[in-house]
Structure 1
Amino acid sequence: MLNRLFHIAINSTDLDRSVAFYQRLGFQALQDRSVRNDMVKEAFAVPSGDLRFVHLRLGEDDNATILDIVQWFHPDTEDTGTEPVAQHQRGLTRFSVLTDDTQAVYDELAAEGVEFITKPTVVMTPEGGWKVALVKDPDGVVVQVTELLAAPAAG
């Protein structure tokens, strides 16, 4: 039935600004395309098929999940002025990217002026844990920077 997660679409009010943010996180642009097509209008139930999108990928795996950053035109992508869903509320709250060093990512991006929601924090379970830091992209989408941690040694 289903094979894998193909892409995550993120609507942006400023495509170039959003792409620059994700490239700072290490994503690479695969394609940058403008589309003006009535089939898009029908397929996605939107007022206009006029858009520009950039596909971004982490790493070299051709099967990796893609970020599809989209800016719509006529009407333009709307800035609703509302805050994204809180982490404990129903709905998509965040997506996570893996790193070998959450602290280094945090330090580098914070030095560039990127504002994080949380500082790197360790969450441990008996099976292992994570070091995570949350950051918002320019349109308020929450990205969880995650480092996997081994289980504590028995004893």
Structure 2
Amino acid sequence: MLLGFEHIGMTSGDMDRTIAFYCGLLGLHLVLRKPNEGGELAFLDAGGGMLEVVAPKGGAGRFRDVPMSEAGMRHLTLAYDNVDEMIEMLAQAGVEIAEAPRDAYNPEMIRRVAFVRDPDGVLVELIERAPQRVA
């Protein structure tokens, strides 16, 4: 029986920078950080699941967007109570805004949406849930 979503794994070019972005700016919580065989590992709690971040000793290249013609993960989505305020704060912090806040295309699920890039170029979607949606 499924218990819930646990985590998704990602690679970071700089663990300190990644933790500062996801925890310091986006509000995730650092649960574990430790060295591993090839560099460093961290788990960041997002409230409904975690990010497992691996930072290789030699660094990592910038994220490559997955073309629509290829299978793969396209973005990471986090829910907030006010996307417009989050984007304003992130813009002031110098975060790359990929798409300004707008009304969502799927109002049954999402009210507002915006996209930013994390320090490695990973596309992060920020949303406000639709009022009629249950969790």
TM bucket normalised to smaller: 0.7 to 0.9
1:127 to 1:34, Cα distance in 2 relative to 1, 3 A: closer
Q: Which residue, 57, 81, 106 being the options, matches 2:87? A: 106
The percent of aligned pairs where both chains have the same amino acid is 29
- 1:68 aligned counterpart, secondary structure: strand
Bigger Rg, structure 1 or 2: 1
Structure 1 unaligned blocks of 5 or more: 37-49
Q: Cα distance, 1:5 vs. partner?
A: 2.1
2:42 matched to 1:54? yes
Q: Which residue, 57, 61, 66 being the options, matches 2:50? A: 66
Q: C-alpha separation between the residues in 1 aligned to 2:9 and 2:92?
A: 28
2:23 matched to 1:25? no
Structure 2 unaligned blocks of 5 or more: none
Q: Cα distance, 1:139 vs. partner?
A: 1.0
Please report the TM-score for the alignment, with normalisation by the length of structure 1: 0.74
CA RMSD of aligned residues (A): 2.1
Name the aligned partner's letter for residue 28 of structure 2: F
2:7 matched to 1:7? yes
Paired residues for 1:144-155 under 5 Å: 144-150=125-131
Query: Structure 1 runs of 4+ off > 4 angstroms?
Result: none
